[in-house]
Each structure stands twice: as C-alpha cells, then as structure tokens.
Amino acid sequence: MYKIITFNANGIRSAARKGFFRWLAGQDADAVCIQETKAQEDQLKDDPMYYPLAHNYYHDAEKKGYSGVALYLKHPPQTVRHGIGWTEIDCEGRYLEAVYSTHSIISLYMHSGTSGDERQQKKEAFMAKFAPWLQARAQAGERLILCGDINIAHTEKDLKNWKGNLKNSGFLPQERQWLTDLFAGGYRDAFRLVNNEEHQYTWWSQRGNARANNVGWRIDYHIISANLASLVESASIYTAEPFSDHAPLTITYRDLA
C-alpha cells in the first residue's frame, strides 16, 4: 500500500500548534502534500518538527506569510521541481513536484477567486493554461498524482449550500466545467472512485458554526491520471481534530512504488 495525504495547513506553524505533526507521526504516510505553508523555510529550518519524513521540500512564495507548498516524502525522489516554470505561479509558491521512476506527486495550491475579480481572473488564466499542460502529460503516458487545494467544488454533492453559491467563486459554471472536462479526459477524481457519499467536505468557513454543522465544501483533491485509477484502494477525510479550516485528505494506492 502507498499512502498519500494532502492538507491545506492555512499556516504550517498554526497547524503545528494545533497538533498536526503529532497526528501525522501516527499515519505512516509515504507522501504528504502541504498547501498554504504561509512561511519561509528560513523560519522553519531549525525545528526538526517541520521535516517529519526522510525527504522534505518547501517552495515558498516571494511574499512573506503567503501561500507556499511543501512535500514530505518517505522515499527519495529522482528529482524535485520547485515550480512549474511559469513566473506568475512560481513567485507565489504554488507548485512543487516529486518525480519518481514510476510516478510523480505534485503539491498544488490553486488560486482562490473569493477576494475579487482580479484574483478570479488570475485563477481562470491559470486554469486555461494548466489544463492542456496536464492533458499533454497524460497523453504521454505519465502517471501523475496531483494533490492539493483546487478551490473548486465539482458537483452539487460537493458542497452543502450549493444553491446559494451558484454565482460565487469556487462553484462557478466555468470552474465546474473545467473539472468535468479534466475528469472526462486523462484524469480522475480519486476520492470519487471509492466514495460517492454526500456531505464529504474538506473545508469549512470559519464564520458561524459551519464546521460544527458540517456546512462545508470538498475543494481538496487527489487528481490522478487515468492510468492510476485501478490502483485507488481507499479514501478518508480526517475531521476529528481541526488543524486548520481544511481537513487532511488521505488516499491509499496499491503498488505505486
């Protein structure tokens, strides 16, 4: 079995204070994909807690206290790509990839458009550029596991209050169609391959009692190339402890390594 966890920490130091690394120590994960570290590695490097597995990598945003992604790996990768090679993405620390001989694991933090039109336009510009890039890699026969906060709920099943969010970023028709097209092509939603239940969420607003009432969104994913679909064994969302406004999503695979 090969266990991969993805988690938007909403500040890796904040998640640490709330017990994330204590929980992680008991998971025996092969790979952990983190988004929104909100830290520079210089702020973390003297504390071994932030280097929990054998091989640990960070890709920071240029702006302090913003964005940032990480990968914690049990097995040594052949290479690690700090960024996708697009300046507008890499300066915000949104992409980190570990390349193995049999597969690649990507930690991705996709934009949120909730703060206004400018960020939504940046999000959709990235989506337009990223989809053909992904499809080209799938068509080349690569085995990709793209983990992260995609900031899109795909279907009505993936958020509690879907009727009230039809015109809001994260559930706009063009965003949902982007995922539909991706999943109709060379990729699959790994979670939905093994779990079709309703009310399975990975993020809750910090306003009101959204988490207590499970008024959430499923916006964190394992998006996998179709050639890995048969290897998905199980999926779970850990909600017992609130390490951030997101919950860790764990998916186990058969015979990845």
pLDDT tens sequence across 196-234: 999 999 999 998 899 999 999 999 999 999 999 999 999
Contact call for residues 68 and 82 (beta carbons, < 8 A): no
Summarised one tens digit per residue, pLDDT across range 100-114 is 999 999 999 999 987
Summarised one tens digit per residue, pLDDT across range 59-74 is 999 999 999 999 999 9
From the candidate CATH numbers 2.40.37.10, 2.160.10.10, 3.20.20.140, 3.60.10.10, the one assigned to the domain spanning 2-253: 3.60.10.10
* Residue 116 binned pLDDT confidence (cut-offs 50, 70, 90): confident
Mean pLDDT, the chain, rounded, equals 96
Summarised one tens digit per residue, pLDDT across range 81-103 is 999 999 999 999 999 999 999 99
Catalytically annotated residues: 109, 149, 246
- Domain locations in the chain as residue ranges: 2-253
Asked if pLDDT for residue 115 goes beyond 80, the answer is no
Amino acid present at 215: V
Tokens linked to 170: 């994260």
Summarised one tens digit per residue, pLDDT across range 40-57 is 999 999 999 999 999 999
Nearest alpha-carbon partner for 158 in 192, 129, 185, 135: 192
Nearest alpha-carbon partner for 237 in 209, 187, 198, 207: 198
Tokens linked to 223: 């998006």
Tokens linked to 187: 């990729």
Tokens linked to 117: 């039109």
Contact call for residues 254 and 211 (beta carbons, < 8 A): no
- Residues annotated in a binding site: 8, 36, 149, 151, 245-246
**Residues 57-74 as b or e (16 or more Cβ within 10 Å = b):** bbbbbeeeeebbbbbbbb
Beta-strand runs (E) in 60-157: 69-73, 79-82, 95-99, 104-109, 144-149
- Residues annotated in a binding site for Mg(2+): 8, 36, 149, 151, 245-246
pLDDT at 257: 65
